[in-house]
Every structure is written in structure tokens, then in C-alpha cells.
Amino acid sequence: MLVMDAITEILKREGISTLFCFPTTPIIEAAAAAGVRPIVCRQERVGVHMADGAARVANGRPAGVFAMQYGPGAENAFAGIASAYSDSTPILLLPLGHPRETAQMFPLFNSTRTYASVTKQVEPVAMPEHAVPALRRAFNALKNGRPGPVMVEVHTDVMTADFPHNEVDYTTVRRTRPAGDARDIDDAAKMLIDAKMPILIAGQGVMYAEACDELLALAELLDVPVMTTTDGKSAFPEDHALALGSGGTVYTGHGRHFLFESDVIFAVGTSLTRHNISTPIIPPGKRIIHATNDARDLYKANDTAIPIQGDAKLVLQQLIEAVKERLPGKKARDTGVRPRIAALKAEWLGRWEAKLRSQERPINPYFVMSEFMRVVPSEDAIVTHDSGSPRDQLLPFYVARKPRGYLGWGKSHQLGTGLGLAIGAKVAAPDKFCVNFMGDAAFGMTGLDFETAARCGIPITTIVLNNSTMAIETQAMALSHEKHRTRDLGGHYANLAADLGGWSERVTDPSEVAGAIFRARRVNEGGRAALLEFITSAETQFSHRRGAA
């Protein structure tokens, strides 16, 4: 047995069935020999995004795994890991290390040193006998505490060395969950009940803790509105009468209203990092109850009335019991907030009706998204956005009804991330209609990895909103565009997708939008990757973004 065989055996014991990768690293051959499917991407950054998407949909169990060579492979993967680190995704990164003899030589790229800033934990394996304990520590870091990418770098001469034992002495790492302090739980329950207008803000930690049912139960018990972070979108059913949608770079009308009107905010499963894309920016004067499994989050960005450190599921269960004890008859209360939410929501949607139903040419991107929701039940889909306009247009209006039916992201918002996320999501959930919305600029960054989906038989649908410009940069690049046309982009992406082995359509008529989406889904059901290119307008109005309507 070689070290790479021992590592592969550990991956299998931890439930890993897919290895996202790019040559050259011998772990690819070892994985294939052991029955783990290698999926070779076109670019390492996108391969990391695939592992990211798989980990999110599988709820971090098992983690997504990406392997690559030393030097350029490790260098190219860095951006993807930086994104996963910012969004706290549990990815195991297995870079091949330089041979031990030269690993510390200047100016070679040293993964252990360089990746320390964008990983939860990083460790080199310099001796064959160190491989098993290093993987044990890695999976402990992946499963316990705040999620995040973990790196184990195995030097190339170690990876192919003889393993010092006949068998792998490894037991699957167990997950642990800390509960909240009883005093903090009791104080939080009292504050929520006594508040005039409390709201809940849920992050993706609710999904990693498998606490969506508890979140719903607490919201209904207290009868209070629920907003999610961008990453946490889909943790609460957005067709529910208490749903406010997501908040961060954009908001729903009713969501923004209650965020400002609230007096007490209970934030759970979120770091509350002050970031205007992924997290609601809490207005001053609010009393905050903050529940997180990472002590570094507490008091980080906001003064906090009650800090609670613990697993989101256990904390919510504790709060439900504490609230029941304080409510008359231990029954859910009626605050009268639901009709107010409904009225504000109807008013807000009414202001956007013209764009959501527009028959203009070029096609309005809001109409594309509206038609997608009309013909595809959200329960059947896993949807993700890309950076810039597609994200800001989709987030407030897409109604996610089931946990992990929407993959939100954005603290490190690299163009092109959504394509890899959709591919990884489809690997983890082959029964779902997995779709990424991206702009033409995003396609230019990572679009060739559509070929990975086509080649590997991973039937996703990519929707390209092609307006042939960087519309979101209209004000920022006014002079340069006037002089040098710096915002203009070009391309016929449907043709390219067909050349890359997929099925595609180019749509210019709004009356054909729904039919094209329907056909793409049928193509996916037949096992082929699909790309829809919609020729759209340069829409720059967003819902409650920087003062927009």
C-alpha cells in the first residue's frame, strides 16, 4: 500500500465518493482504483467551486474535496479557496507538495505558507506515517466548529512512498455540538417576548446545523418575521407569511421595512460580518441577540445585548422550550404582523410588476427570472447566482421554499463562481434541476468549464444574461467608456456551448423565454448539459440597493 492509497481509503470512510481535481497528482489514479470518481475540471479555481457546491448541498457531510499539483495548480486554486473561506464552506484541499528536498527553496510557491490566510487549518505531510493523523485532524476541523476549508499538503515523494502499515488505522471522525448557556437562553427568550417588534436573521449556519425546522418553529411560536443573509437564503421558506426574503446588497421592500422598524434582532447561524453584499447591515439602536458557534463573531461588528455561543440547532431548541414556558398556555402567539408583511410585500411587488412582466426587447433580465419561477417549482431546483447584476436581480425576487434550494454567496464575490457551484450541486443532488444565472462578463471568466459538465455527463443548465456590456459599471467607467468603449463585451455564447459539447439556445424574443427554460430542463433530464443565452437589456435598477426602489 502506498500513502496515496491510504489517503483514498480515509476519504472513502468519510463518505467521499467524488474527487474534484486537475492533473498532475497521483491521488487521481489512486481514487479511480478505489472506486472514487475523479472529475477533472478545466481550471483549478472552478474545480474548487465544484467542491464548494457539492459540500453545500451535501450539508458539509461529506466535505467537498479538491486535489491538484504543486506550483501552478496550487496557485490557480487560491482564488476558489479564498471564496470558500469567506463563505465558510467545508472543503478538503489536497495539494501535492514539492519534493521535500526542494520544498522550502526560494522562490517556489509554498502552499502551506501561502494558504494559511484562507484556510481554517493547514498542515504539511512530510513523512508517510504522518498521513493518517493529519487527515484525522483535518476531518475534525471540517466537521466541528465553524465550517471552512482545510488543507493537507502531501509532498510528492511522500504521496508515492510506501505506507508503513498493512492496514489503515482510522475511525470516522464524529461531529460534536455545543449547546447555549442556560442563562443566556433564558435572557434571550425574555427579551424576544418583551420586544415590541423583534425579527430573526438566519445565516447558513442554520442549514449546516440542520436547524431549519427549529427556525420555522421558533418564528411561528413567537409570530415574528424572518430575514436571511445572502448565504442563508433558503434556510426559511420564502413563501411563508413571516418571510422577509434575504438581505445584504439588496432587500425586498417588506424586508427593508422591518429591518429598520425592529427593536430587537435575533441573529442565528451568521457571523454578522459587516459586509454590504452578504449580510444585512443592522441599523443603529437595535438590541441584538447573537447566536453563533464561533466566539470570534461575538461583538465583532455590532454591540450585542445577549451573546450565545452554541450550535444553531441546539440553541433554537433551547429557545423554543424557554419561550413556551413564558407564553400563556405554552401556545403560539398572534402579533398581527402577518397582514402587515403581506400588504408591504404586495406594495413592493406592485412597483416591480412592469419589469417582472415586461415584453420589451432586448429582454429584461427580471422577466427571465420571473418566467423561470413561473415554470420551475423551486422545490425541484437548486439555483445560484453570479456576481454583479444577476445576483442583485435574482436575490430579492427568487422564492426559495426548501433548504439548500438556493446557493447564495458573496463575501469574496469572484465573477464566474456560480458555474462551478451548480456543477458541484448537481453531483451532490442528481435529482435536482441545477441552474446558475450568470452574466457575459462572468462567462468570460469561467465559461469554458461548461465543457466539464458536458464531458462528465453532469446535466446542469447555465443561463447567460447577455447584454454585451458591464452595465453595473456604467457610472464607474463613464469617461473610459466614452473614449475607449471599455464596458463593451462580445460573444455568441450559445454557439460556444454547442461547440463545447452541450445543448444550447439563443433567445431574443420574450415570448420564447418560458419555452426555452422548459426545453433546457428536458435536455437535463436526458443527461445533457444545457446553456440558454438570453439577449437582455442593460438593466441597472435594483431593489433597495443604494437607495433604489
DSSP state of 545: S
Helix 365-375 to helix 337-356 angle (10° resolution) is 120
Q: What is the pLDDT along the chain (549 residues), one digit of tens a residue?
A: 999 999 999 999 999 999 999 999 999 999 999 999 999 999 999 999 999 999 999 987 888 999 999 999 999 999 999 999 999 999 999 999 999 999 888 899 989 999 999 999 999 999 999 999 999 999 999 999 999 999 999 999 999 999 999 999 999 999 999 999 999 999 999 999 999 999 999 999 999 999 999 999 999 999 999 999 999 999 999 999 999 999 999 999 999 999 999 999 999 999 999 988 889 999 999 999 999 999 999 999 999 999 999 999 999 999 999 999 999 888 899 999 999 999 999 999 999 999 999 999 999 999 999 999 999 999 999 999 999 899 999 999 999 999 999 999 988 889 999 999 999 999 999 999 999 999 999 999 999 999 999 999 999 999 999 998 888 888 889 999 899 999 988 889 999 999 999 999 999 999 999 999 999 999 999 999 999 999 999 998 999 875 455
**493 phi/psi in degrees, rounded to 5:** -75, -25
Tell me the domains of the chain and their CATH numbers. Answer: 3-159 (3.40.50.970), 182-340 (3.40.50.1220), 357-535 (3.40.50.970)
User: Is the preceding omega at residue 403 within 30 degrees of 0, hence cis?
Assistant: no
**93 phi/psi in degrees, rounded to 5:** -105, 125
DSSP state of 180: P
Sign of the CA dihedral running 271, 276, 278, 283 = positive
**406 phi/psi in degrees, rounded to 5:** -140, 130
Q: What is the 3-state secondary structure (H, E, C) of 10-48?
A: HHHHCCCCEEEECCCCCHHHHHHHHCCEEEECCCHHHHH
Q: Which residues of 53-83 are buried (b: 16+ CB within 10 A; e: fewer)?
A: bbbbbbbbebbbbbbbbbeebbebbbbbbbb
